[in-house]
Structure 1
């Protein structure tokens, strides 16, 4: 029998995100509560300022660009406190928001712009060159590129988003009518094993429900007016806003619960620790590589991190050793959660009070969901036995954009989403994720599709055949991509060739897709009779190489 959540069932509001956030009757915190703070410039948004800025931008989209319901606005930017207002302004106008990784090359960005059907792009000044190049490739006019953040374009060619206003100055524009369960709020892109990222279609109901579920999962531990000086919880945000993890857990949760979000444009350990100390940060969402640094880096000893009440780790499995190392060193508790882009994202979280009792568990199933662990024959396995996790709930995405086959394969006939992740649950209802069915490499929470890298590498003049796998890099506490290469006849297999291959790929892909696991030269790539790469054979080879390397050091 499917497992039901042990949390009380929630009454999910049947409303769009704008109504959920800005027309609610149950808000406890005041209009002037500060929600978003830029940690570099100290610029901030209160609840009312975010709402009013969003409303101005939404009316501006309709006035200046005649924005239609279903039009897609792409965002290409590191974390910025302008992001929430821009997103909700687009939603007010009936738009769909598609955030893109700021590390993307022009080709990678162009793919997302074309696939999503984006009508305009918001970026920051340092990213203009790539944005212009990508837009040119897909036919988006330069006057549809606008800026966010503090830097302006001196030439005045590219407007700041705050200048996209209702020029007529009238109130004739009205909020778009939204069907919450069917109309999209976001198109986030999740890399697939086919080589191209897939557009994950998230409805307004998906995000509304997951925000409510997340609040229940935290069980009131995060408050808007508790703690010292009754200032409420202060959350440090470095996880990317272009990912579902940042969108829901950071942007939407903070606005809905009245939490103050201190926004970092990118992660830096010393800066992270300094901000915790300076602002008395009480909570942060993290990933395992950050936990590793907190447990081992000498930098951490220079700062007082005692204000942290809890860390929540997600995006990849966390080992007991890492959790214990941080607790023994800093007395900071770390709980785990689990989710995917396709689940909006959070499906499980560990209760605060049991973080140490069940280290390694991703916690309990959040409300309004059912789950099953299934064997390869698609039969449910009992508690304690390993299977693939299947989920059903209001937070499950609507499907993959322009990909009916991928959507069909992701769901069962009765509506369960096949996560592709393997694990088990124990007798107490704690869930564990131990492996992945899918071939994706996860580098620090970012997804890296092997087939995409192989498609680029195979064109390299030194390469005859190639396969890419993920190997565990214990120094980074993360998987990293490694290429197994059959060199072209006459090409010397050595360090010089490896450098040419690694450097050549680095110029073609985002930072997180680079070959941090290096290159290994082989005589042939193991393949099945149908030509499919046998990655498991290469993974075994990598394990043997690691064992030999360890022995050689003894």
Structure 2
């Protein structure tokens, strides 16, 4: 029988995100509560200011660009305290938001803009050059590009406050949405085919997951405590374009009235300084950050004692890391689990169980069922390993423009096949041990091997190639490594390895670089059908590493 959540069922209102966030009757914080803060400029938004700014921007979209229900707005930006208002302003106008990685190249961004059918793009001045190139490729006119952030550009590019101010009238009414059918977000998740897939998330998906996360993070509160007049304060560095940051940080923080300090990007020194200065009490993190907290010398310079708990997600977290951090700074780290297709969070460790169940991704959040399935798609008993399938109101609607992908991912009775392998113990704790999918997870980002292989095969000195993920303990993450068959006459050398790595780095986003390096080989092992046998390469890599370690000990 499928496993049920140990949490009591929660009521999920049948409303869109605007009503959920702005028209609720049970809000327990005031209009003037400061929610989003930029620590570098001290610029901030109260709850009321976010609502007003979002309303004005939504009216501006309707008035300036004749925004229609279902139109897609791309956002190509590092984290900004302006992002939430722009996002919900788009929802006010009945639109769909498609956030993109600000590290994307013009080609990568253009693909997402074209695939999503984006009608306009929001970006920042440092990203403007690439945004312009991508919009030209995607057929988005320059007058449909607007800016957020503190920098303003000369010329024709409007700041979003100008789009907002052009409304100036009450005649543009808020669009009505069907929470079950109308999309709120199109987030892009890489697929093994090499092209990212548009994950269709409706309003109900995000409403449901915000409430599910709230149930799992019950100990967080906006109520004042001694030394913390604002209640719990969250540090937000997780990318807002990533579903982890988008739902868990942006939507949960706003719904619960939690003061949220927004970092545009992570660096360990700034992170520690902000924790100390703003008395951060809770942080969502990823394993490479946990690793830095356990080892980086700068950590010793700061007082991090305000932190009550950290939650790690996006990639597996080892017991060794949890223990090392707790030993050094006495801050507990629990783990959660989710996917873009589940909005994202399906499991989290209860606060009180963090030390007892290290290694587990937690217990299932409310209103879901799950089961582990054999390769023959038969449910396996508790304790046995299988592929995790999940069903709940947070499960996505399907992949955009990809009927076959949707059919392969969703069962007729509503289960999502996660592609992750693991098991459940007798106490209802879930464990993830491996992945069916071949995606490489670099610091929470998904890197499709086929995409990198396709690019590398166009290199003039490469005959054949296979890319796989290899775990680097010093980085606490998988990194892409390429096995390369050089063309005849091409000399395998460290110089050639570096040249190939640099060549690819110029063509892909930062997280897709060959941080694992290049290894030269005579041939790529393949099945009779031509499929690359990555498992054989992984075994070979491990043997090579063991041999290298053995020599180092001599």
**TM-score category of the 2 structures, normalised to the smaller one:** over 0.9
Question: Which residue of 1 is the match for residue 5 of structure 2?
Answer: 5
- Structure 2, unmatched stretches of 5+, are none
Alpha-carbon deviation of 1:496? Answer: 1.5
Q: CA deviation at 1:500?
A: 1.3
TM-score w.r.t. length of structure 2: 0.99
Return closer, same or farther for 1:370/1:168 CA change in 2, 3 Å cut-off.
closer
Distance (whole Å) between structure 1 residues aligned to residue 537 and residue 417 of structure 2? 26
Distance (whole Å) between structure 2 residues aligned to residue 2 and residue 226 of structure 1: 41
Q: Does 1:526 align with 2:540?
A: no
* Structure-2 separation of matches of 1:175 and 1:118: 20
What displacement does 1:413 show?
1.9
Shift of 1:169: 2.6
2:130 aligned with 1:127: no
- Paired residue for 2:479? 480
Residue 382 of structure 1 deviates from its aligned partner by 1.1
Within 5 Å, give how 1:80-159 maps onto structure 2: 80-153=80-153, 155-159=154-158
Equivalent pair of 1:384/1:427 in contact (CA under 8 Å) = yes
Task: Measure, in 2, the Cα distance between the counterparts of 1:347 and 1:427.
Answer: 18
Aligned length: 553
- 1:278-317 matches, within 5 Å, as 278-317=277-316
Contact 1:338/1:346 (8 A) holds in 2: yes
Q: Map 1:48-87 onto structure 2 (within 5 A).
A: 48-87=48-87
Q: How does 1:536-547 map to 2 (within 5 A)?
A: 536-547=535-546
Find the counterpart in structure 2 of residue 15 from structure 1: 15
TM-superposed deviation, 1:166 = 6.0
Cα offset for 1:381? 1.0
Deviations 1:352-396 (A, max 9, x none): 001000001111100000000111111111111111000000000
Quote the offset at 1:337 in angstroms. 0.3
Q: Give the equivalent residue in structure 1 for 2:500.
A: 501
CA contact (8 A) 1:62 1:166 kept: no
Q: Is the 8 A contact 2:284 2:310 kept in 1?
A: yes
Task: In structure 1, list runs of 5 or more residues that go unmatched.
Answer: none
Kindly state the Cα deviation for residue 224 of structure 1 after the two structures are TM-superposed.
4.2
Aligned counterparts, 1:241-256, within 5 A: 241-256=240-255
Alignment of 1:436-455 (within 5 A): 436-455=435-454
Distance 2:384 2:461 in 1: 46
Deviation, 1:227, is: 4.9
State the match for 2:41 in structure 1.
41
* Mapped contact 1:343–1:397 kept (Cα < 8 A): yes
Q: CA deviation at 1:230?
A: 2.9
Is the 8 Å Cα contact of residues 224 and 257 (structure 1) preserved in structure 2?
Answer: no
Displacement after TM superposition at 1:165 (Å)? 3.2
Question: Using the alignment, how far apart are the partners of 1:403 and 1:129 within structure 2?
Answer: 31
The root-mean-square deviation of aligned C-alpha atoms, in Å, is 0.9
- SS across alignment from 2:357: coil
CA distance in 1, matches of 2:374, 2:259: 43
Residue 168 of structure 1, CA deviation: 6.2
Q: What SS does the aligned partner of 1:422 have?
A: strand
With 291-300 and 437-446 compared, the bigger mean Cα shift is at: 291-300
Tell me the distance in 1 between the aligned counterparts of 2:200 and 2:226: 38
Deviations 1:235-292 (A, max 9, x none): 0111100011001111000100000110000000011001101111000000000111
Aligned 8 A contact 1:486 1:522 in 2 = yes
Change (3 A) 1:352 1:407: same
1:197 is the counterpart of 2:189: no
CA contact (8 A) 2:53 2:164 kept: no
TM, length-normalised to structure 1: 0.99
TM-fit CA distance, 1:157: 1.4
Residue 547 of structure 1 deviates from its aligned partner by 0.4
Distance 2:486 2:501 in 1: 14
Taking the aligned partners of 1:222 and 1:375, their CA distance within structure 2 comes to 41
CA contact (8 A) 2:60 2:167 kept: no
Quote how far apart the aligned CAs of 1:23 are.
Answer: 0.3
Check 1:103–1:288 CA distance in 2 against 1; reply closer, same or farther (3 A cut): same
* 1:230 partner SS: coil
User: What SS is found at the alignment partner of 1:367?
Assistant: coil
Runs of 4+ in 1 over 4 A off after TM superposition: none
